[in-house]
Copies of this chain bind each other. A is one copy, B any other.
């Protein structure tokens, strides 16, 4: 043990030097990222080797660890029942808005993902090189979607996709931050008139989050062109725009003073410039914010600001028709991390009930001090972060198309896109927490076939067969002679609402007892006796 940790410490030291050298020599970004990833991996290994990992201890005898990989989990039947219901709700809304679904492989050629995720590229999972192509697990559904659109020469599509994505991030399972997690994406690709699909994406978000039991929410909006204009007129140097933008994005978690400090002390921005940014990004409100922005001559001198404000004006017109004005907040502090956004951006966050629905303009301070609204919500839910987010990305498909035309030198024709992604694990955490107390039915079994005495296995099989043949979900005990109580217990455990009971007498008389297992009334104990030939019809009356 000591040897191994010692060896790892040495390796970490060496790799640390390699990374420092790469950075010093301004090496290719990918190279640096890979170096850093390797370093982090070695540190992980050291942590495990030195016994600093509760969930990963090996059974000393067999050498086999019975667990799922770090940052992943199994979903039990009851958990799946809740998650499936969430999916059903989401898909229902997606389909109501005309979306079709596609499927893409869980891994992509490594090159497809390269250069799409900025600093986060180091979180990509690679497959081992076992010969053939170099592949990586998908990091999101957006890049594979853009690849699919470009590869197939698609001009327009409205698609949804619900699938798992993979990130080698530090997991925080209770907050729903996992290494393997589902995303539910809805995207509209195609050249359309401005802001029509954009407004529909936000409408889709409002429909879905209203239908799901997540509590009060608000959708923050901003526009990349307005943000760019703010940085421009504030005097942020070109090469600092991205890093300053990600500092701004932290305003939902940190007070302005901390963000300002990050800008000036960590990122070397001039204090005067930071303060100028501060006056802008603290602005938030509803439609009326448009007028306040238009009244800022310095900002509006920028063509980008004019374009962004014109877009947002159109957005608010459409949002009014879509009845979602009370759900949106125009918020200058919203920046979003990903590089590929080019227009409107949005992010759905949970808010305190008091802010909803008649006070839809939370300030930065309000959202950052959000507290659990009842004892049901535990600490893990307080900072659940955004539960849906997205925006317009007009150039991503074009990046792939450019490579496709390549030597042919055809002219560039982008396929503009706008979309939204739902963080279903977070939604699931919230919903599951709320449901904790209730009984969750994981199966769909409607009828349990019970023998009162004598086993009667074959008779139970015959009844089940008849029920199955008639589309009724039915089960029975897999025993030749099951005890009556154990059959009742099975109904209780699986929340099965109806039972068909037979004994020797019933078989002889050609009848069965139908019993409502949901009602715990002892007087109803005997249930209703019906003719065997009418059993299916009687059950259907009660079930459908």
A interface residue numbers (CB < 8 A to B): 37-38, 40-45, 48, 56, 59-70, 72-77, 80-81, 83-84, 95-109, 111-112, 125-133, 135, 137, 147-148, 150-152, 157-159, 164, 166, 168, 180, 188, 190, 192-193, 196-197, 203, 207, 317-318, 321-323, 400, 402-404, 406-407, 442-445, 457-458, 461-462, 465, 468, 471-475, 478-480, 494
Contact = CB atoms under 8 A, between A and B. Distances in A.
Given A59-B403, A65-B111, A105-B72, A443 B130 contact: no
14 contacts: A43-B131, A60-B406, A62-B402, A68-B105, A69-B105, A75-B102, A77-B159, A96-B444, A125-B130, A126-B127, A127-B137, A128-B128, A158-B443, A321-B462
A192 B478 contact: yes
B461 A96 contact: no
A282 to B, nearest CB: 33
A59 B106 contact: no
A61 to B, nearest CB: 4
Nearest to A441: B100
| Chain A residues touching B, majority SS | mixed
B132 A70 contact: yes
Contacts of A131: 37-38, 40-45
Contacts of A80: 100-103
B98 A445 contact: yes
Given A151-B67, A318-B461, A406-B59, A74 B99 contact: no
Given A62-B403, A81-B100, A98-B494, 17 more contacts: A40-B131, A43-B131, A48-B133, A59-B406, A61-B406, A65-B111, A69-B107, A70-B133, A72-B105, A74-B105, A74-B151, A80-B103, A96-B468, A97-B475, A188-B478, A203-B465, A321-B458
Contact of A128 (B129, B159, B403, B445): B129
A403 B61 CA distance: 7
A48 B109 CA distance: 15
Nearest to A104: B74
Nearest to A114: B64
B127 A473 contact: no
Shortest 6 CB-CB contacts between residues of A and residues of B? A41-B131, A77-B100, A192-B478, A62-B403, A72-B105, A98-B475
Given A40-B131, A473-B96, A68 B197 contact: no
Nearest to A126: B128
Contact of A74 (B37, B103, B125): B103
Nearest to A195: B478
Contacts of A475: 97-98, 158
A129 B95 CA distance: 40
B105 A192 contact: no
Given A100-B442, A131-B43, A443-B100, A109 B69 contact: yes
Contacts of A38: 130-131
B473 A98 contact: yes
Contacts of A159: 77
Given A101-B77, A403-B59, A69 B318 contact: no
B400 A64 contact: yes
Contacts of A180: 105-107
A479 B45 contact: no
Contacts of A68: 104-105, 108-109
A18 to B, nearest CB: 15
A64 B102 CA distance: 23
A56 B105 CA distance: 16
A65 B110 CA distance: 10
A97 B109 CA distance: 40
Contacts of A457: 193, 196
Contacts of A147: 66
Contact of A37 (B61, B130, B403): B130
B98 A443 contact: yes
A384 B130 CA distance: 28
Contacts of A197: 478
Contacts of A444: 95-96
A74 B62 contact: no
B66 A96 contact: no
A116 to B, nearest CB: 12
A435 to B, nearest CB: 16
Interface-central residue, A95, A152, A159, A406, by most chain B CB under 10 Å: A406
A112 B403 contact: no
Interface-central residue, A95, A98, A100, A107, by most chain B CB under 10 Å: A98
Contacts of A478: 188, 190, 192-193, 196-197
Nearest to A95: B444
A348 to B, nearest CB: 18
Contacts of A102: 74-77, 80
Given A106-B106, A321-B465, A192 B479 contact: yes
A168 to B, nearest CB: 6
Nearest to A110: B69
Contacts of A458: 317, 321
